[in-house]
Amino acid sequence: MLAMLVIVVIIWGVGLFQFADTIPLKVEDPGTRTDAIVVLTGGSGRLDEGLDLLARDLAGQLFVSGVYHGLDVERLVQISKREPEGLEPRIGIGNAVNTVGNAAETRVWMAKRGFTSLRLVTGAYHMPRSLAEFHFFMPGVEVIPNPVFPEHVKQKFWWAWPGTASLIVSEYNKWLFARARHWVTSLFAPRRPIVK
């Protein structure tokens, strides 16, 4: 029994470091235009990055997922301390409370508009799990990762920084549960791709 537990811990540990290696260190594709930009709230720099991308016309519309109830687009732009620059009519918001909800409400928003590609903006540490959820909820949709890099997350030698290590371990465990849920769900409910 003890030997089995040791094996499980070793496998989990190896997987943790493999997972950490999938966390992006830069934006691999900064220039491809997509139908939409999707920002997942919950971390510093994400909304500003999304607005910058929209201002650069890297997509026709921006969807901000996970906005607090009661906030509208006008107030959201004010909070970002940016000039509207005519962007407000191109911005939509959703009120998801977690990553699963982000992917689910984005699927609905994308499907209503016939969109089939998006640029996903979230923290680098959050990107692997976000991509897993978005690919699961929207098979066939092109998703371009556009990570942001919070200063408090130390990706280099992450295991030496207790705060970052705890964050990555938490993300890894959530990613494992997400993948397990996707596998079980797929057995009983085949996914349908978004089509124009």
Q: In this model, does residue 130 exceed pLDDT 60?
A: yes
pLDDT of 113 reads 97
What's the pTM?
0.92
Q: In this model, does residue 81 exceed pLDDT 90?
A: no
139 is written with which tokens? 């098979």
Would 8 be classed as within a structural domain? no
Would 92 be classed as within a structural domain? yes
What CATH number does the domain containing 184 carry? 3.40.50
Would 7 be classed as within a structural domain? no
**Domain range enclosing 61:** 34-149+158-188
pLDDT of 188 reads 83
Would 15 be classed as within a structural domain? no
Domain count, the chain: 1
Would 9 be classed as within a structural domain? no
Using CA atoms, how far apart are residues 42 and 98, in angstroms rounded to an integer? 9
Using CA atoms, how far apart are residues 156 and 132, in angstroms rounded to an integer? 23
8 is written with which tokens? 């499980």
Would 17 be classed as within a structural domain? no
Would 14 be classed as within a structural domain? no
Using CA atoms, how far apart are residues 82 and 33, in angstroms rounded to an integer? 22
Using CA atoms, how far apart are residues 109 and 103, in angstroms rounded to an integer? 10
Would 179 be classed as within a structural domain? yes
Q: What is the mean pLDDT of the chain?
A: 93
Q: In this model, does residue 195 exceed pLDDT 60?
A: no
pLDDT of 72 reads 84
